[in-house]
Structure formats: structure tokens, C-alpha cells
Structure 1
Amino acid sequence: MELQSPRGASPGQPFSSLLQRLSRQGTEGTERAAGDPALRELDALIEAADWPALLREDPGVAQALGQVARTLCDQAAPAKAEDARSGPAASAAERAARVGAVLLQLLRRMEAAQGSLGPAAVRAALRPAAPSIYIFSVTHGQERPWSSPASRDVAQEVLALLLRVTGSASVPEFLRGETADQGGRFAAVMDLLRPELNKESWKNNPATKHIFSWTLYQVTRPWLNHYLERILPPSLLISDDYQNENKILGVRCLHHIVLNVPAADLRQFNRAQVLYHALFNHLYTPEPDLIQAVLECLLDLFPVLERPLQWKAPEPRSSGPCDDVLQLILTHMEPEYRLLLRRTYARNLPAFIERLGILTVRHLKRLEQVIIGYLEVYDGPEEEARLMILEALKLIIKHCWPRIPCRLEVFLKALLKMVCDVAKDQSLSPESVKAALLQEATDCLTLLDHCSAGQVTVSKKQPLIFFTWF
């Protein structure tokens, strides 16, 4: 049995009836899992075909292979949200494993054809099908509700064989090409995902957001900026969802874009401001994981938003986005009682102080209240919040030392009270954590002594054994 196109027949005609049957089965949820006969026939056709002769004589085979791959990818896709009750997840995983076996057969035959046709001819014929095969591999290659160990193994094997046949050393190279001038398949993959990445349909396929984000992470500088119009709208769309999981995923996509797209491209068409406002709105949500992702992204976005400006001494320096974000953070920190949020805010506070430098004096009054309040509260065995607040205090003293002497009494009282609390602490905090707190407090007292002309004296041989406040 040989798969050949008769003279006068359309290219790839032997696939037509099977593709029509598979497509009809894909539209009928109850019959979707019953498409084994068509899959078996397709597998038999692929195995029996004389691929070297077919690829040499029939120029339309490449498009037919692309159609085959797209149809198989659609067949193996997880059930849409509205069709989730049509069958159990196990049957979807079994279906994906069977589709993966057919794709493996196709890739093996194409790899074997390289011996007589050469790699270039086979890769050109496989190019229309490669993006769909890649989407199948990413959809089922990771642990998801719609996958199983068998389907994951098959999908990973399909991806490895796809990379080998296409001559790619890695997934990033497969997507972006070997060099900046040689186009990869990232644009083709995004074009296939585009119909499912709009406001009305992006949640229909539960795998779409994972395919998009995982693919996005594989492409970095200097290639990513060429696809900015394709990747920025979906990332903003996912981050604007009401579900916290989707918000975090979208923010991480935006962060990857900020890190890997030149600042000039982000400033163009006011994109950076759009990103800033989208991220800033998330700071009002009381979700620690989301707040952490947003603050990390904002800290990398500030250099794009705040261009270096020449400051004229008689004029006050204008405030920027970093000031606005720090002001909002301090507003949220002061009354916050939930430990996870307190730790998240405290963890990021030193980075904002380091970013603003001497301009932190604008927020010194609010920072003083926050620092005193956080030093008073036990934060659990690891004492993460108090340790990071002490780190923030050290940075404040270093950057804002001319304004510290007038606040010396306030900071000394807060530090000494914390030291007494730690010394009397009978909780489960390890001794190493207590030692770290005492060492950080000693460092703060030493800095206070330096910037106050010796009004505080601290023994450096053994932390906090002796101190004098004149």
C-alpha cells in the first residue's frame, strides 16, 4: 500500500477523506473518543507511503502535512470549558497518547527520508506542520489535569524528535531560529494561537494560556521585540482576569516582556505607560503571590519609565512612578495585619529604597512609622519581615543620613525594644534567626552611631553587649 498522488489529482489527496472524518468526529463530542479507526488508517497510510518519492514528486505534500498536523492537534486538544462534561479527563489523555503515536510515526518517516532527500528538503516539507506538532507537544508534555504519564511521555518524545528532524538544538532555537536574521517558528505558533487568544475565546481551551506563556518564556533578547505586537495584547488580557492564578500568569508574561524588549520599543506608542497602569491596579488586591509578582515587574519597569534627567539645583526633583508605588505600598503596610502580606511588602521594601536613593527622604516620615510598627511584631519562626525591615532601615540610614540625627531617639527606642523582645523570646525561633536579628540590629546601631557623630556606642566584639546613648 503506497501513498502517492495520481496524475491530475490534487496534492495530498489520499489524506482528504481521513481528514474529513477526523474533523467531523472533532465537532461531535460524544464521538470524539471513538475516532480510532480513522487514526489507525492515517497511521497505516503514513507508514506505507514512499515518502522520498512523494516529497520529490508532489509539491503540495507540505501543505497536506500541515493540514494533517492541525487536524490531529485539534483532535488531541483538551475539552473546551463548555464541553468539559462530555467525557472524563482520562479519555482525553488516552486520545492524546494515540494522536502522539501517529505524529511520532510521521516524524520517524520524515527523518528516514532525510537519507535520500537531504535534511533541507525534509525540513522545508515539514515546516507547515511543525508549529501544530509543537503545540501538541507543549499541550500534553507537562503535568496538567488533561494529561497522564503516558500522554506526557509521548508528547515529550514527539517534541524531542521534532527538534531533531528540524535540526534545532533546543526549543528556543526552534522558535527563534539559529540567528537573529534567520526566522524561526515563533510567529507561526502565535498565528495558530491567535484565534484562541481574544477576549471571547481565550478561556475555552484550558491549555491555551499555558502554551502561550511557556512559548513566550523560550524567546529572549534580541528576538522577542520583533513579535511585540503579537505577545503584548494576550499578556495584558490574561493579567486582567478576575482569577488570581491568571493574573499572576499574565504579570509574569509582562515581566518577561519588560526584561527582554528594549526600552525604546517599550516607550514607543506609550506601551510602558500602559504596562505601568495595568500593574499598578493590581497593587490594590490582597494576594501576596500577585503582589510579589507585580512588584518584581515594576522594579524592572521603572528604568524604562524614568529616563535619566538632568537636575537643575534650584528646582525640586519631580516625583516619578517609583515614588507613587512606594507611597501606595507604605499606605498598605501600616495597617496590614496579615503575616503573608506583611512579609511580601517587607521583602520588597529594600529594593525600592535602593532604587530611590537619597530621594527616599520624601517618604521618611511614613517609613519611620512602618519600621517602628514592623519591629514590634513577632513574625513567626523565620522572622522574615523583621529581618527585611532591619535591612530597609540600614539602607535608609545610608542614603538619608543627614536626616537621621533628628530621628535618632525614635529609631533607638524601636531597636532596643526589639532586642529586649528577642532576648526574652521563648518561641520556636531558631537560635540562628535570633542571632541574625541581633546582628542586623547591631549593624543598624553602628550606622546610627556613625551618622550621629558618636552619640551611640556599640561593642563590636559581641553584638549589643554594651551601648551608650549620650
Structure 2
Amino acid sequence: MEPPAPAGASLTGEAPSSALGLALSQILLHLTGPESRRGKARNAALEDLSALLEATECDQLFEGNGSSLGGMPEMLGEVAKALEEYAAPPKEQEGGGDGSPAVAEKAAAVGFLFIRLLRKVESAKHSLVCHAWKRGLRRLAGPIYVFAITHSLEQPWTRARSRDVAGEVLALLLRVSECGSVAGFLRGENEDEKGRFAVIMGLLKPDLNKESWKNSPATKHVFSWTLQQVTWPWLNQHLERILPPSLLISDDYQTENKVLGVQCLHHIVLNVPAADLLQYNRAQVLYHALFNHLYTPEHHLIQAVLLCLLDLFPVLEKALQWKGGAARPTTHCDEVLQLILTHMEPEHRILLRRTYAGSLPAFVKRLGILTVRHLKRLERVILGYLEVYDGPEEEARLKILETLKLLMQYTWPRISCRLVVLLKALLKLICDVARDPSLTPEPVKSALLEAATDCLLLLDHCSKGQVKGLLAKIPQSCEDSKVVSCIRKVQRVSDSEPYSGT
């Protein structure tokens, strides 16, 4: 994609280094000074920069003496940063909307300039006389990366054309940097290579403090996306840079920001060693920040928080030591499950019911036999949720049946005394599903019947065959073939046949 020919180019031919530095200084002033608020001044600065890049050889561009202490590479870095800020979306775009075509147009124009600048770097790499391209690239890479991610993600301020240009900028940046992926660009392709993650975080830091992070709508998305590209074992060395902004974003009043922050925290939990998370009580800070979100009735947020907590529990439990003899201490997992069950009992909103039910199997697996501490409340929740139709996909009831199956596997000595209650609930479910006249798809009905039958088999095993005796006369009086099929499947299992579920 070639940029349009520059209009009004004022610099032609070979300019001495001092003139080049002066020209860049003037462009930088027009982009960042008080007069930069006027559109004509900024447009003229972009045209002048385009003409300057067209007319200047790479050896002058990277090896010339600029007016700043760092020379020309330093000044080019300042220009690139100013261009990135010029193309950034304004505060008004935060929260969605249709976006601003003007932002997308500015991004496309700046993207063309970055492409031209990166091609100069690429030419310098193959030049025999220009050896300072690495210094130039080091200064340019950070702002160009921030620009590319800001405008290549699908956001309200982007358009198809600006995303295409930003994507081309990113691809060219990776090629010039000799990196095969964004992850390699950030962490370093080789063990002895430092990577640019710290530089990117340094550029984002001014816009990620408590007072300013909402002034830049794109920063949180660039931070989140960039963070999730760096994984184990490279992430822990940057923990002090990434944990405070993640906690800050997750603590916002807007659900969208809370979810984004929790996803960042989850990535940190998965990719930072437990020892580093336990140091300075970081894991406890994470836990309390996440736990407070469980009081929010937003199913997307609850789901993100529960997924993160389930991966945080093993870290927290490393600090607990059970020496045997006395009862095991209650854990953070116990505390969260207790709160979930408290919220589940009266909950009537379908999406939240599905979210809570979807998390129960993982909690039962996590606690194992210790789930017996919550058996009474789990029983009430299971019975209540099995009675309520959950829509065509029956997500909640399927997960509740999975939970019941796991519960019987882990706490089987306590199940026989609950035989009658559980048997009635399962039979009622089987009858309701078999006779269901609703639009529930047949595969979903079959899955429900199969899961309920598995629970009956387990219940029979836990009660040493009592279920078979209680079901013996039903096939003779029941006319529904689906119900009879489920009951006969239970009866076919002999008392001596071991069941794989326990």
C-alpha cells in the first residue's frame, strides 16, 4: 500500500544534517506545540514530514546530528511519539459509540508515514554506509507498536481502512525487527535478546495511573492485549509494571473495564510463578480484589472472576500447611463456594444461574472429599435447579447433573441417607424431559436423560442396590418409552458389577 504523493513539499535535494535536525524540530513543534490544535498546522506538518522522508537518504536520517542530546535517532523517536499521540482517539470515544471517522482518517495518514519511515530503516539495514539503523529502530519501535495495536484492533474509533494500514505497519515493524511474532518482538526472539516489553510498558505508564488512565480510551486495550502476548517464563520479571495497572482497571465502576482488568489478572496468575505471587502478600491482594466482584450481578464479570479464582486457589493453598490429626482448615475455595451457594439459592436470572451452575463442577473437583462441608447447601441448590427449565440448551441443568455426579463420587458415604430425596428429583426430571413439549432439541433432551441416568446408576451404587428395588415396579405401570428405557438401564447393572464412577 503506497502513500499518496506529498503535497506542498518544501524540502528537496540533500540537506545538511543541521538543516535536517532543524526541519524535524519544526515538524515536532507543529505536532506538539500550542498551534498543533489547529488542523491546518498539523496537516502541513504531516506533509512536510512526508516530503522530508522522501528527500532524505537513510545515512543522513539515522546518522545525522540532531539538536537533541541523543542525536537524530532520539529526535525521530520524539516525532514518532508525537505522531502516535496525534492519531490516538480522543477521550469522547470511551465507552463505545459509532467512532469518529476523523480519527480513522488521521490514523491512516500517520500509518502511511510510519510505513515510509520503516522502509527507510529497512533500506538502511542493507546499506553499506549506514550503521546507525539499530539505534533509530530502538527509538521508533515503541511508539510505532503502540500506534499499530491501537488501530489494528476492532474498536469504535477504527475503520476497515485504518485497521488495514495499522496491520501493515505492524507486519513491517516485525519484519524490520527480524521478529517472527508479536510475542517474540516483546520478549525477545533469543535468550540474550532483551525484548521491548519494558519499553512498551514505559510508554503506556503515564496513561495508566489512577488520575489519567481514563483520559486515553485506547491505552487499556493496548495494555491488555500486549500483556497477554507475554507468557511464562518471561512475564514474572515485569510483575511490578503490570500488576498495579491490572488491579486499577479491574477496580473500575464500569463492567467492561472490570472484566478487562480481571482477564489481565488471570493472565498474570497463569504465567507468574507462585513464589512471586506469594511474595509481599500479592496473592492475598489479588484474592480480595477478585472476591469483592462476586457481589456484582453481572454474569460476564462473575464468570471471568470465578475462572481466575480457580487458578489462584492452588497458589493460595501453597501457604497453607495441614499437619494431620486436627481438622483441615477452611480454604479460600471453601469461602468462595459458600458465597456462590448463598447467591445461587434465590437467583432467578437465567444468565447468572447458568454462570453459577457452570462453575460448580470445578469447585467440587477442587475440594474433593472436603465438599462434604457444603453438602446440605449443595443439596438444596441441586434440587432447586433440577426443577427449573433452563431454555432450549438446558446449560444450567446439565451442569447441575454433572455436579451431582461428582458430588456422589467424592462424598458417597453421605449419599445413602439422601437416597429418597435425590431419587425423587431425578425421576421427576426424567419424566419432565421425556414429556417436554417445548422446542428443546432432541440432542439436548438425550444429553439430559443420559446424565440423569448416570446419576441414578451412581445413586444405586452408593446405596448398595436400593435404587433397583425402588424402581422395580415402574416399568410395569409407566407408558413412556423414554422413562422406561432409563429405568431399565439402571436395572441391567448387576449388584456385583463395579461402576466406574466411584
TM above 0.5: yes
Partner of 1:104: 115
- 2:29 pairs, out of 20, 31, 36, with 20
Structure 1 position 41 matched with structure 2 position 64: no
Of 121-130 and 410-419, more deviation after overlay is shown by: 121-130
Cα-to-partner distance string for 1:210-257 (whole Å, 9 max, x where unaligned): 111011111111111111111100000000000000000000000000
**AA matched with 1:345:** Y
Tell me the CA shift for residue 406 of structure 1.
1.0
Partner of 2:160: 149
Partner of 2:421: 410
Structure 1 position 237 matched with structure 2 position 237: no
**AA matched with 1:75:** Y
Once residues 102 and 89 of structure 1 are traced to their aligned partners in structure 2, the CA distance between those partners, rounded to angstroms, is 21
Residue 371 of structure 1 aligns to a residue whose secondary structure is: helix
- 1:92 pairs, out of 100, 103, 108, with 103
Once residues 324 and 117 of structure 2 are traced to their aligned partners in structure 1, the CA distance between those partners, rounded to angstroms, is 71
**AA matched with 2:166:** A
* TM-score relative to the length of structure 2: 0.87
Kept in 2, the 8 Å contact 1:78–1:92? The answer is yes
- 1:299 pairs, out of 295, 310, 317, with 310
Kept in 1, the 8 Å contact 2:64–2:71? The answer is no
The 5 A counterparts of 1:108-147 are: 108-117=119-128, 121-147=132-158
- 1:448 pairs, out of 447, 452, 459, with 459
Partner of 2:215: 204
Kept in 2, the 8 Å contact 1:131–1:188? The answer is yes
Once residues 281 and 128 of structure 2 are traced to their aligned partners in structure 1, the CA distance between those partners, rounded to angstroms, is 50
Kept in 2, the 8 Å contact 1:51–1:113? The answer is yes
Kept in 2, the 8 Å contact 1:390–1:440? The answer is yes
Provide the aligned length of Structure 1 versus Structure 2. 463
- 1:50 pairs, out of 54, 57, 62, with 57
- 2:259 pairs, out of 248, 251, 271, with 248
Tell me the CA shift for residue 118 of structure 1.
8.5
The 5 A counterparts of 1:19-418 are: 19-24=28-33, 28=37, 31-32=38-39, 35-56=42-63, 58=65, 60-81=71-92, 89-117=100-128, 121-307=132-318, 311-418=322-429
**AA matched with 1:66:** G
Kept in 1, the 8 Å contact 2:36–2:42? The answer is no
Tell me the CA shift for residue 435 of structure 1.
1.0
Of 289-298 and 304-313, more deviation after overlay is shown by: 304-313
**AA matched with 1:463:** C
Distance 1:375 1:54, change over 3 A: closer
Once residues 33 and 217 of structure 1 are traced to their aligned partners in structure 2, the CA distance between those partners, rounded to angstroms, is 39
Distance 1:336 1:158, change over 3 A: same
Once residues 349 and 484 of structure 2 are traced to their aligned partners in structure 1, the CA distance between those partners, rounded to angstroms, is 37
Kept in 2, the 8 Å contact 1:3–1:46? The answer is no
Tell me the CA shift for residue 97 of structure 1.
0.9
Tell me the CA shift for residue 314 of structure 1.
2.5
Partner of 1:463: 486
Cα-to-partner distance string for 1:344-369 (whole Å, 9 max, x where unaligned): 00001000000000000000000000
**AA matched with 1:203:** K
Partner of 2:9: none
Kept in 1, the 8 Å contact 2:430–2:452? The answer is yes
Tell me the CA shift for residue 64 of structure 1.
1.4
Partner of 1:432: 443
Kept in 2, the 8 Å contact 1:123–1:166? The answer is no
Tell me the CA shift for residue 55 of structure 1.
3.0
Tell me the CA shift for residue 121 of structure 1.
4.2
Cα-to-partner distance string for 1:132-166 (whole Å, 9 max, x where unaligned): 00001011112212111221111111111111111
Give ranges in structure 1 of 5+ residues lacking alignment.
Answer: none
Tell me the CA shift for residue 80 of structure 1.
2.5
Kept in 2, the 8 Å contact 1:276–1:298? The answer is yes
Cα-to-partner distance string for 1:87-129 (whole Å, 9 max, x where unaligned): x811121111111111111111111121114997423321011
Kept in 2, the 8 Å contact 1:4–1:14? The answer is no
Kept in 2, the 8 Å contact 1:180–1:223? The answer is no
Cα-to-partner distance string for 1:261-305 (whole Å, 9 max, x where unaligned): 111100000000000000000000110100000000000000000
Distance 1:135 1:399, change over 3 A: same
**AA matched with 1:37:** A
Cα-to-partner distance string for 1:449-468 (whole Å, 9 max, x where unaligned): 11111112289994234667
Residue 427 of structure 1 aligns to a residue whose secondary structure is: coil
The CA RMSD over aligned residues, in Å, is 2.5
Once residues 372 and 443 of structure 1 are traced to their aligned partners in structure 2, the CA distance between those partners, rounded to angstroms, is 16
**AA matched with 2:303:** Q
Kept in 2, the 8 Å contact 1:11–1:64? The answer is no
Once residues 294 and 180 of structure 2 are traced to their aligned partners in structure 1, the CA distance between those partners, rounded to angstroms, is 41
Once residues 413 and 84 of structure 2 are traced to their aligned partners in structure 1, the CA distance between those partners, rounded to angstroms, is 65
Percent identity among equivalent residues?
61
Of 33-42 and 417-426, more deviation after overlay is shown by: 33-42
Tell me the CA shift for residue 179 of structure 1.
3.1
Once residues 201 and 233 of structure 2 are traced to their aligned partners in structure 1, the CA distance between those partners, rounded to angstroms, is 18
Distance 1:5 1:191, change over 3 A: farther
Once residues 119 and 409 of structure 1 are traced to their aligned partners in structure 2, the CA distance between those partners, rounded to angstroms, is 85
